[in-house]
Chains A and B, each alone.
Chain A
Amino acid sequence: MSDMQKTIEIEVLRYHPEKDKEPHRQVFEVPFTDDMSVLQGVQYIKDYLDGSLSFRWSCRMAICGSCGMMINGIPNLSCQTFLRDYYPARVRVEALAHFPIERDLVINMEGFIEKLESIQPYIIPKEERTLAQGEYLQTPEQLNAYEQFSSCINCLLCYAACPQFGLNSSFIGPAATALLHRYNVDSRDGGKAERMELINSEEGVFNCTAVGYCSEVCPKHVDPANAVNQNKTNSAADYFLRFLAPKGGAK
């Protein structure tokens, strides 16, 4: 029980649009145990100290993508970041950077959803196949070409890390580019030409200045910077090909 008597301070960035003109900080003292995640600390605040604190969470195991926060200034999933790594110092949690704050730790992610919807994130079959014909054949190597980019949990840590997105929120950004790339390089897909029109646009990949911080913060090793840069190469090739072909290079 002596373990339960240890406490840790969690400093939370609060903002309530119905009451506050601007965000402010509030410090809570939370019982500390060695195995507690930052999320569990924040949950303790809501359950026992201040029921009005708002944040998103669900799975607790780094797969639903809900609970991203700035933790001591670094974008992280709060469920897999542990208080022991900060104890006995105070931990600071804030809403993910570069997004509008709806309330407390809740950001508005509509813009991301629109980007995701815009890239045609579904198979546009290279060749039609009926269910009776069974599955498309795809070797482990072909799977390997896109699997990593299909592992994105849409947690948006990469957007919070991306300086370009911070400057220009219409930039398509790391996760959506990785997803676009995921479909483009899937052996079953034939929709690359349609998708490349978006990536070549003003808000496309050339906004990226290759900082690479997106890949560093990605909790799922998606490596969006790699996807962005592969698409820069694709885009550049497309750019020259468009002088030869009527519309886009890949058609």
Chain B
Amino acid sequence: MEIYKADVVIVGGGGAGLRAAIAVAEADPLLRIALVSKVYPMRSHTVAAEGGSAGVKQASDSLEYHFNDTVHGGDWLCEQDVVEYFVAHCTEELTQLEHWGCPWSRTPDGHVNVRAFGGMKIERTWFAADKTGFHMLHTLFQTSIKYPSIKRFDEHFCVDLIVEDGRVQGVVAIEIASGEFTLVEARSVVIATGGAGRVFRENTNGGVVTGDGMALAYRHGVPLRDMEFVQYHPTCMPGTGLLFTEACRGEGGFLVNKDGYRYLQDYGLGPAEPTPRNKAMELGPRDRLSQAFWYEQQKGRTIEGPHGSVVHLDLRHLGEKKLRERLPQIYELAEQFMGVDPAHAPIPVRPAVHYTMGGILVDGRCAAPLPGLFAAGECSSVGIHGANRLGSNSLSELLVFGKVAGVEAARHARAVAAGDSTRLLKQAQAVEQRVVGLKTKSGGSERIATLRKEMAQTMEDGCGIYRLAETMQTTCDKLDELKDRFRNVNLEDKSSVWNTEWLLAIELEYQLDVAQSMACSAINRRESRGAHQRLDGFEQRDDVNFLAHSQAHYVAGGPPRIDYGPVRITKSQPGTRAYGAAGEKAEQERKASNV
């Protein structure tokens, strides 16, 4: 086994991991940083984010507005002190990225331009055409090359955390090209491995988005918080689930049903106007739009396609010139993958799983309850998204909390002494033996792909846009069965070099744990809030019993134990969550009652 002695190890080379690495390097150039990523950093799924990144920019905007949009959008299940910190640091971080070279789209006078996004009162979404995540990721990756203290372990697959003396002290990773194991010793560990959307069938996520870091922390006793809240993005490609950014609607696109009718006006989002009005109609939040799709489908007002029911995303009135300038990637996706020219025909779309609101429980400084462990980005639950994330808050989250995680990890690494290397190695060897055992065992009969497909289907069936106790229970039972069958998994490939079948098996095991935390958290939440909507007698939000964060605790060999933690309310008392004209009325009433 190779041994590398670092001070801080970061698992995950996407936006949050890279930002954390740079923060450590800037906090103390003497700290040795190991950046462990199962893909080359620029392949990480941050790359696929399209629409933009939120930060107050205009004189007509305010931190208070961004705070209110985020907390209301999250159906009040947000840590309000953390949201306050977040909104106060978005713009600074986006400006930092500008200084590092990010090609933000500009106004004619050379300032960074902003666009409208769902659930946001004022235009505050910074964008680089419709490839914002791509540009942010490449800017961060390329900038990280400046810092000699960042040692990258590209294409190294993390298989476990090393916990010794009650604190985390390193990770074990497989070098994919050789199949060899490396122990990376470190006094701080930052997890930045992204979400887990691939546990669902139809999703916008890349193949790498398998919840690895969530499962690792969870198995070491760190609770996964608010895992029942999984975001369906309303406008995705039927079948593949590929994303058509919310910016399509930010730029003025319409959603229409089979009659060409802008159906969102029937779901409390109207009035329908010819140009986009913020926080109304197509610029409502994602949970509400996906739910409206579901109802349209029930009413038979959607269009039947080869991959299920669809509605139409109509961009024709924006014209080819604007589409090519503002939404070039969307244009090409529609043309190349669907044979649709969006300047001349509407794009068939349907909701697909997009984002994991919950994640590894951390405090506002990104610290998990396990000493030495930090988490940032989609894998974490720092508390800003609540029950429904607003579009363009997650890219800003990567920056703001990636930096916080890096700074805190550096501080922690300086404050504690190195552990006993002999004992760390002994643990790492045990990990190696266990992980190699999965590959070398014989006699199994289950195919990885079959188990994965059944998992993804049962998650869609039980934990979709609307949920029922009975189907959620079926999903929980099915996941038990799949975990059982996983023990009988068969690997055809016993070799060492680039054995991706082995890695897929390890990922599937991560996914099954994360899926179980989602389904069990969902069935226990007997109310409807944000992205968690029930149709079995719990249709209303229940602040008396469920204004609380769920916490799933790992239990070996069985379903997780679920308990609840408090929600920090500082200045926004839970109220009616409304959009469109109803939202404006509610806001006026709130203002009047405060006077």
Contact = CB atoms under 8 A, between A and B. Distances in A.
B483 interface: no
Contacts, number: 157
B418 interface: no
Interface string B44-72: 11011000000000000000000000000
**Residue picked from A64, A66, A183, most chain B C-beta under 10 Å:** A64
Interface in A46-67: 46-48, 50-52, 54-66
Contacts of A183: 101
Given A47-B449, A65-B42, A153-B134, A139 B110 contact: yes
Nearest to B333: A61
B99 A143 contact: no
A16 B99 contact: no
B569 interface: no
A22 interface: no
Given A66-B39, A143-B105, A123 B498 contact: no
A66 B44 CA distance: 10
A147 interface: yes
A165 to B, nearest CB: 19
A47 B145 CA distance: 37
Interface stretch (B135-143, B406-414, B513-521, B542-550): B135-143
Nearest to A142: B110
Interface in A39-92: 46-48, 50-52, 54-66, 80
Interface string B187-226: 0000000000000000000111000000000000000000
Interface string B241-276: 011000000000000000000000000000000000
A52 B501 contact: yes
A63 B101 contact: no
A52 B40 CA distance: 22
Contact of A146 (B42, B103, B109): B103
Nearest to B336: A80
Nearest to A188: B101
A163 interface: no
Contact of B110 (A50, A125, A137, A146): A137
B43 A65 contact: yes
B143 A122 contact: yes
Given A52-B493, A66-B39, A60 B47 contact: no
B113 to A, nearest CB: 9
Nearest to A137: B110
Contacts of A129: 99
A104 interface: yes
Contact of B142 (A47, A48, A104, A121): A121
B29 to A, nearest CB: 16
B101 A143 contact: no
| Binding site secondary structure of chain A | loop
A207 interface: no
B110 A123 contact: no
Contacts of B154: 113
Contacts of B134: 63, 153
A148 to B, nearest CB: 10
A153 B46 CA distance: 13
A16 B109 contact: no
A145 to B, nearest CB: 11
Interface stretch (B4-12, B90-98, B385-393, B425-433): B90-98
Contacts of A150: 103, 135, 138
A78 to B, nearest CB: 13
**Residue picked from B45, B95, B112, B143, most chain A C-beta under 10 Å:** B95
B48 A64 contact: yes
B93 to A, nearest CB: 9
A131 B142 contact: no
A117 B150 CA distance: 13
B108 interface: yes
11 contacts: A19-B495, A58-B206, A59-B45, A59-B207, A61-B48, A63-B48, A66-B43, A139-B106, A151-B131, A154-B42, A188-B101
Interface of B: 39-40, 42-45, 47-48, 92, 95-96, 98-101, 103-112, 131, 134-135, 138, 142-143, 145-146, 154, 177, 206-208, 239-240, 242-243, 306, 329, 332-333, 336-337, 447-449, 491-493, 495-501
List the 7 closest pairs (A to B, CB-CB), nearest first. Answer: A47-B449, A137-B110, A58-B206, A52-B493, A103-B498, A51-B492, A121-B142
Given A122-B143, A135-B98, 10 more contacts: A17-B497, A35-B306, A52-B492, A52-B499, A59-B48, A61-B333, A64-B44, A64-B206, A113-B40, A153-B134
